Amino acid sequence: MKSFFILFISIFFLKASEIGLLLEVKNNSLLYFSIENRKHLCTPYGITTFDVLQYKSKDNELCQKALLEYYDKHPQDKNFAKKHFHTQQLYNMKKKKSSCIIYAEGKKSYSALLLEKGLAIVPIHFKDKVFENKYRKIENQAKITKKGLWKNPVLRNCMAQIEI
């Protein structure tokens, strides 16, 4: 009976999502998938990653320099998506407006993983009944433990300046 229930939940979960073939990983924010034989750009749903500092920061030079220095010291964070995902592999996902919920570890989303590592923030305007509280709790835990951008005051200030 237990295995039947697990099978039922798995089938339900798969039916509620789409299958995407990963074509390319540009950075932690930009992933290209083939869904139903059409190329889709997927940005992680409900979050903003560090990578936006390269083009959205008001104090561009200082923020870009801080980002490059951080990534030089932490190359595993710069290449998080490239190490976590594999091109030509299938992933469960859901399209949400112009973003995607990509299931990276079972039911855990890629957005949640980036928040855990302190590589993203939840925008002030983000509203979602299912994900908002979950994402904000994960973000707060990363702040408390000073992971990723939360250990760098310049990057924290840069992210706060961005209108997201």
Overall average pLDDT of the 70-77 stretch: 93
Distance of CA 136 to the CA centre of its chain: 13
What is the H or E stretch that residue 96 is in? strand 90-96
Is residue 58 very low, low, confident or very high in pLDDT (cuts 50, 70, 90)? low
Flag whether pLDDT at 14 surpasses 70: no
Q: What is the pLDDT of residue 64?
A: 85
> Residues of the chain with pLDDT > 90: what percent?
63
Domain residues of the chain, as ranges? 2-161
CATH of 2-161, one of 3.40.50.2020, 1.10.3720.10, 2.60.40.10, 2.40.50.90: 2.40.50.90
Flag whether pLDDT at 2 surpasses 60: no
Flag whether pLDDT at 109 surpasses 80: yes
